Structure 1
Amino acid sequence: MRRRPPAHTPARSEISEQTTLGATYVRALMRSQLRAGLGALSVLALLVGTLPVLVALSRSASGPLVWVTLGLVAYPVMWLIARWYVTRAERNEADFTGLVMDPAEAPGTHRVPG
């Protein structure tokens, strides 16, 4: 007689039962999300922090240089930082979901209890 696989993977049951191991899994996810957020924030702070220096250095140059710096350099870089952060956060969550999901469940399918 074939043995039926467990309804939940051990990681999922550890989290739902709020055991120490489950808390460790959740803390690991939170740490990786925090690391990604702090990385994006530090690069953004570096970018925004250097803008006053660029403006001060460009005082001798023409006024449009400041606007070109702000419009053509700062915003695209901020968009790239935001895009990197969102991609990293989604990857962290996908990795975590892959850890706790039942291997028999395909992504996008829902089990109906029965």
Structure 2
Amino acid sequence: MSSTEAFIVSAADAISAARPGSRRDTAENYIKRLQALEEVGRAFDGVEKCYAIQAGREVRVMVKPQAVDDATAAKMANDIVKKIEATLVYPGQIKVTVIRESRSVGYAR
């Protein structure tokens, strides 16, 4: 080390390298985690679409309103939470939202 700054930079680099995940390719793991979350949601009957949003901290599941009633949607949200807890490794918490929407449109002529 030729200067004090070089010693400080070397020490900071060593500390940074020791941190888990600091120098690994985490983008690939991030995408795999999001896909795994979406697959858990899609595995249930009556699911139309499933999206992992907010960096994997929330899962939105859109169900077919003809196939799933309100009570089943609430039970499905709890079942998805239990399956995520049992099968996936994730940091923090994940919010699961089941959306059931039915639209009725009429035209007067």
Q: TM-score, normalised by structure 1?
A: 0.35
Q: Specify which structure has the higher proportion of strand.
A: 2
Q: Specify which structure has the higher proportion of helix.
A: 1
